[in-house]
Each structure stands twice: as structure tokens, then as C-alpha cells.
């Protein structure tokens, strides 16, 4: 059995895709939301206009699962630990696949580290890469990275989670996969700021390129493989989220660049992650000036003109 925990847009889209080929259970903490989806076969709150498949069932409670069960954790990054702690008695030796991207603000940990800490008997994996919920739900072709440090469990998960429109590439480099997904959200905010402030496509291309250099720098510093960052979970996701207003992080950056307000009910994973990444970079002694500038903008400590001057006045060097 595959269970998707989290009935937001992305979790619902994954459940819809999986349900085309196998039974899927969709969990949400809100019992009223579950009742609404059961009644209407829709999730109009989070993914309007998409019919929920006949293979889908819904629940707000989770009974004990077996070690053969796959749990997709499609909850916001900053809530992942709380969800795991609330259900750790049920998970046991289940296969837990994080579908969120970012760093925990309080600890600087990624999803894999949190799973291993809270549920040490479970198999930990992460599903990440360039993907929008709307595309997945519509059955459009999407390629993702599945990272699992257990080389026996990884191929089984890859087979189980592949659908007609989801093609999964496997890696054992969980550190690189989760860092790529976390850091690209920070750069997507920066790309949105550039475009919102009308600094131009050339400036966005420069930010993406130098931002990718920062992503690789941090990943290598913590033992990740640079090839992982050059793949779907790093470069691929960076391109998508820095160039499309379907990205919440990019839209949040647009609002910063335009000096406009942003809907506080919309989850922007990159905002908290930027602070966590900036703190981690300082602890590691890493130079990450773009991350520092974006963090300052989010905190209201910098204006766009100040951030731009700070970056453009840095010493000249070889690429």
C-alpha cells in the first residue's frame, strides 16, 4: 500500500498519479477536508479541477503500517518533524519517502536526517526534482530523482513509485539530492527578486549561474557528489523554479522585488530555508554571497538596490 501524507497540491497530485496504476491512500490531518474529498472526489481547496481517482481512499487517522508499506511525506518542510513524531509509533519499519524540500530552521537538518532521527527503524528516502503539482496531476511527463541510501530498498522504491508520467532516476547520494532541492528554493526567490525589480533576463541568468556555484560549494563541503547537483534534483529543479511563476518561491521573490505584500497563507519553503542555509554557511566558513543577500532581503534588512550593490561590488576573480 502507498500512503501519501499531506493533501496539499503536491501530495494530491502524487496520489492522483500513483492511483492510475495502484491503490493509494491520501491522508490529511483535517477530518473535514477528508470528508469533503470523499464526498466530491475533488480537492478544490488545494488542487482545483482535478478529479481524484477511483483507486484513492482517504483518511485522517493512520493505523500501524508494515515495513512493506510506502509512506510519501508530502508535508511542509518545517512541519515534517512534528508529523513524524505524532505518528512514529505507527511507522515502525515502513519506507518513508520525503517529498518536501528545504532545511529545518531550528536544526539545519534536511528531510533524511529528520526521518533517521525520529524513526530510526524506517527506511529513509527522498523524492525530489523539477516538478509542479499541476503538471503531475494532468499526467504530463515529469522526471524526478529518488535518493535512498539503502541500495537494496532503492530499486524496489523506484519500481513502486514509477507511473506512466513519472520517470524516476535513482541515486544513493541522499545528501546531494536533499541539498539540491533545498538550495534551489533560495535561488528561486532571488530570481524572482531580479525579475520583480526589472533588472532583466541577463541578471537572472547571472544569478542562476552563480547561485548554482554556491549550491555546489555547500554540497561538496558536506560530502555530497557534485554530479548529483548537476542532475534533476539540483540544476534541473533550479531551472524550473527560477523561470516559472508556478513556483511559489519565485512568486514570493517577485513580490519582494516589486516591494509588494505576499499572501501569508501560501507556504514558501525557501524563506525559512534561506535563513537555515545562511547560518550553515557561516558555521562551515563558506562564502555564499547570493544566499546572504537573499536572506537579508527576506528579513527586511536589505533593499534590492543595496543587495545589488553588495553583489556587484565584490572583488573581481576568475570564474
Pick among 3.90.209.20, 3.40.50.720, 3.20.20.100, 3.30.43.10: CATH of 2-175: 3.40.50.720
pLDDT of residue 53: 86
Query: Across the chain, which distance is largest between two alpha carbons, in Å?
Result: 62
Residue among 101, 121, 138, 184 flagged as catalytic: 184
pLDDT digits (tens, 9 = 90+) for 191-211: 999 999 999 999 999 999 999
d(CA 14, CA 108): 27
Helix (H, G, I), strand (E, B) or coil at 57: strand
- Of the pLDDT bands very low, low, confident and very high (cuts 50, 70, 90), residue 317 is confident
Measured CA to CA, the distance from residue 269 to residue 256 in angstroms comes to: 15
Q: Looking at residue 241, what is its pLDDT?
A: 97
The helices-and-strands tally (H runs, E runs) of the chain is 14, 10
Mean pLDDT, all residues of the chain = 95
C-alpha dihedral sign at 100, 102, 106, 108: positive
Q: What pLDDT band is residue 51 in, cutting at 50, 70 and 90? A: very high
In 3-state terms, what secondary structure has residue 181? helix
pLDDT at 319 over 90: no
Handedness of CA 188, 194, 198, 200 (dihedral sign): negative
How many CA atoms does the CB half-sphere of 153 hold within 13 Å? 20
What are the residue ranges spanned by the domains of the chain? 2-175, 183-312
Instruction: Tell which CATH architecture fits domain 183-312.
Output: Orthogonal Bundle (1.10)
Confidence (pLDDT) at 2: 95
Distance CA 202, CA 290 (A): 16
23 Rama sector, left if φ>0, alpha if ψ -120 to 50, beta otherwise = beta
pLDDT tens-place string over residues 149-192: 999 999 999 999 999 999 999 999 999 999 999 999 999 999 99
Average pLDDT of the residues in 134-147: 97
Helices 269-284 + 289-299 axis angle, to 10: 130
Kindly tell me if the per-residue pLDDT of 64 is higher than 80. no
| DSSP for residue 146 | E
**Is 184 one of the annotated active-site residues of the chain?**
yes
pLDDT at 96 over 90: yes
| Predicted confidence band of residue 66 (pLDDT cuts 50, 70, 90) | confident
250 in Cβ contact with 188 (< 8 Å): yes
Whether the pLDDT of residue 67 is over 80: the answer is no
Q: State pLDDT tens for residues 100-124.
A: 999 999 999 999 999 999 999 999 9
**pLDDT of 221-280, one tens digit each?**
999 999 999 999 999 999 999 999 999 999 999 999 999 999 998 999 999 999 999 999
Per-residue pLDDT at 209: 97
| Measured distance CA(15)–CA(13) in Å, rounded | 5
Amino acid at each position: 500500500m502507498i500512503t501519501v501524507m499531506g493533501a496539499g497540491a503536491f501530495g494530491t497530485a502524487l496520489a492522483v498519479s500513483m492511483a492510475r496504476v495502484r491503490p493509494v491512500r491520501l491522508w490529511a490531518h483535517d477530518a473535514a477536508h477528508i470528508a469533503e474529498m470523499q464526498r466530491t472526489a475533488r480537492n478544490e481547496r488545494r488542487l482545483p479541477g482535478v478529479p481524484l481517482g477511483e483507486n484513492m481512499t482517504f483518511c485522517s487517522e493512520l493505523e500501524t503500517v508494515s515495513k512493506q508499506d510506502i509512506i510519501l511525506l508530502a508535508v511542509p518542510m518545517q512541519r515534517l518533524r512534528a508529523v513524524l513524531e505524532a505518528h512514529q509509533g505507527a511507522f515502525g519499519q515502513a519506507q518513508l519517502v520525503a517529498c518536501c524540500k528545504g532545511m529545518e530552521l531550528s536544526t539545519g537538518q534536511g528531510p533524511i536526517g529528520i526521518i533517521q532521527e525520529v524513526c530510526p527503524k524506517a527506511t529513509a528516502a527522498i523524492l525530489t526534482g523539477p516538478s509542479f503539482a499541476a503538471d503531475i496531476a494532468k499526467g504530463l511527463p515529469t522526471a524526478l530523482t529518488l535518493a535512498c541510501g539503502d541500495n537494496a530498498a532503492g530499486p524496489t522504491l523506484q519500481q513502486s513509485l514509477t507511473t506512466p508520467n513519472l520517470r524516476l532516476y535513482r541515486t544513493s547520494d541522499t545528501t546531494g539530492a536533499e541539498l539540491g532541492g533545498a538550495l534551489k528554493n533560495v535561488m528561486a526567490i532571488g530570481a524572482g527578486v531580479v525579475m520583480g525589480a526589472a533588472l532583466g533576463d541577463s541578471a537572472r541568468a547571472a544569478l542562476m549561474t552563480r547561485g548554482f556555484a554556491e549550491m555546489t560549494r555547500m554540497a561538496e563541503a558536506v560530502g555530497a557528489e557534485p554530479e548529483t547537483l548537476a542532475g534533476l534534483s539540483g540544476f534541473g529543479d533550479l531551472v524550473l523554479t527560477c523561470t516559472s511563476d508556478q513556483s511559489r518561491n519565485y512568486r514570493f521573490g517577485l513580490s519582494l522585488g516589486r516591494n509588494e505584500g505576499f499572501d501569508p497563507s501560501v507556504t514558501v519553503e525557501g524563506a525559512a530555508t534561506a535563513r537555515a542555509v545562511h547560518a550553515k554557511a557561516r558555521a562551515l566558513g563558506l562564502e555564499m554571497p547570493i544566499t546572504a543577500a537573499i536572506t537579508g532581503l527576506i528579513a527586511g534588512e536589505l533593499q534590492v538596490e543595496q543587495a545589488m550593490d553588495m553583489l556587484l561590488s565584490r572583488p573581481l576573480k576568475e570564474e
